[in-house]
Structure 1
Amino acid sequence: MKPITLTTLKELKRKSEKITCLTAYDFSFASLLDRAGIDMIMVGDSLGMVMQGHETTLPVSLAEMVYHGRCVARGVSRALIIVDMPFTSYQESPQRAFASAGRLMQRGGAQVVKLEGGEPMAETVRFLVERGIPVCAHLGLTPQSVHQLGGYRVQGREASAAERIRHDALALQQAGAGLLVLEAIPAELAKTMTAELEIPTIGIGAGPDCDGQVLVLHDMLGVYPRPSPKFSRNFMVGAPSVEEAVKAYIGAVKSGAFPGPEHGY
């Protein structure tokens, strides 16, 4: 099968076909996800929590993201690989972001880099895209800002906050972002934004109407020892193997069976 590209994802959005994504951090799981037919693999800085045992994503370094991205890339032939830009690797300046993104692409196997933040990051997004680096933006609950947000809380419930997120999304799209992750926002807001935007939206705790869905692998396999978020689901329940659990997740997203009302806000 042909490798997935940003063009593929835009075509899936146009045809109203759901996009599937899971996180992975190593060769073995990346190989399994790719074999199962996942559209995108996200090498998330969530590895700081599920692999390293930290309370937040903040301690993760750029060198660690390069290492895990490189491990994942060795196991993938079809899925699009998105690698998170960790805290402090891009916020200082567009030039700093370009240097970090360049390392992730040259040495870390990234095909797309992901960064958090709204309109203030639009200049950085434009700087990267104009220099050949595809960008996935991330709005809503942005884990690198957990202390500023006051914890892992739903964003965009008030009208003014919802309008701010919509405004940020349009600014990031105009700056050249090719994808947008929407995390922990009201389902109706995500539905409205998905209809307004030309670029695909990937939801995590953002209801069923995003163009695609992503979960943290360790949450959807039920192996993370700490409580999983409301918007996740353990697909290992009733599955005879990890690969079958992943295929069940892919099938549930593609059919619209996941996420259900109980997984949203």
Structure 2
Amino acid sequence: MSNVSITTLMQKKQAGEKFAVVTCYDASFAQLVEKAGIEAILVGDSLGMVLQGHDSTLPVTVADMAYHTAAVARGCKAPLVIADMPFGSYHSLEPCLNGATELMRAGAQMVKLEGGTWLCDSIQQLVRAGIPVCGHLGLTPQSVNVLGGYRVQGREESQAAVIMKDAKALQAAGASMLVLECVPTALAADISAELEIPVIGIGAGPATDAQVLVLHDLLGVTQKTARFVRNFAADGVSIEEALCLYRQSVIDGSFPAAEHCFD
């Protein structure tokens, strides 16, 4: 697989070709993800739960993210490496730029921020500084205490309209990609059709341009998983085979199936 860039993924969007994304936190798994041909790696703040044992992503720091981003970047060459900006690191302009700069220096090629239109100034600043941005709407895990738990977002018409408005605003501010998490299938389809940038779904139905899953979830390591998760290692295949099956299922549209989606 040749090196994947933002331009590569934009071309896939324009051609109607789907691509796969997976979270990853270390060099060894990054090598396997690359061998499976998966186009992008998200170094997710989900590491706070699956690696550190916390019950949310909130305790994760920029230093944690930089450490794991550097490990992933050393383990692969081809996939696009996206790093999460952790809780509290981007709520004002100067810390946002400083934290994103640290993650880029660690090996990220893009940073991801959770939130709507209030992030537009930060996105513009980052893009001016040469730092590509991926937005994140719908269920935003860093806001779990405000949302009242891990719930599907956008089922009410008014809420769906806000998510659509936010998506367009983030794109206009300069975001190069967008993650939609736990939103109704129809809403995700509408947003994917409206935006020019690639939309990555997780619990957002099959109409998005790409899918992302947490590595430990798709390998069946996590004991309790969400409805949108499929265990790709359930038949006793190797890790590499499970990753290949995940990518192929995303590409051919068989994942997510109806049982992984929300109305």
TM over 0.5: yes
Is it true that 1:84 corresponds to 2:89 in the alignment? no
2:204 paired residue number:
206
Aligned counterpart in structure 1 of residue 184 of structure 2, from 183, 186, 201: 186
Aligned counterpart in structure 1 of residue 117 of structure 2, from 119, 122, 125: 119
What are the within-5 Å matches in structure 2 for residues 60-71 of structure 1?
60-71=60-71
Q: Deviations over 1:2-43 (max 9, x none)?
A: 210000000000111101000000010011001110000000
- Structure 1 segments of 4+ aligned residues over 4 angstroms from their partners: none
CA distance in 1, matches of 2:208, 2:163: 15
CA distance in 2, matches of 1:240, 1:183: 28
2:231 paired residue number:
234
CA distance in 2, matches of 1:3, 1:95: 31
CA distance in 1, matches of 2:237, 2:244: 11
Q: What is the percent sequence identity of the aligned residues? A: 55
1:55 paired residue number:
55
SS of residue in 2 equivalent to 1:82: strand
Aligned counterpart in structure 2 of residue 141 of structure 1, from 139, 142, 157: 139
Is it true that 1:252 corresponds to 2:240 in the alignment? no
Is it true that 1:21 corresponds to 2:18 in the alignment? no
Q: Which runs of 5+ in 2 are unaligned?
A: none
Note the aligned Cα RMSD (angstroms).
0.7
CA distance in 1, matches of 2:83, 2:103: 7
Q: Which amino acid aligns with 1:202?
A: I
Q: Deviations over 1:141-196 (max 9, x none)?
A: 00000000000000000000000000000000000000000000000000000000
1:172 paired residue number:
170
Q: What TM-score comes out, normalization by structure 2 length?
A: 0.99
SS of residue in 2 equivalent to 1:202: strand
Aligned counterpart in structure 1 of residue 260 of structure 2, from 255, 258, 263: 263
SS of residue in 2 equivalent to 1:138: strand
CA distance in 1, matches of 2:24, 2:2: 21
SS of residue in 1 equivalent to 2:165: helix
Q: What TM-score comes out, normalization by structure 1 length?
A: 0.98
CA distance in 1, matches of 2:172, 2:135: 12
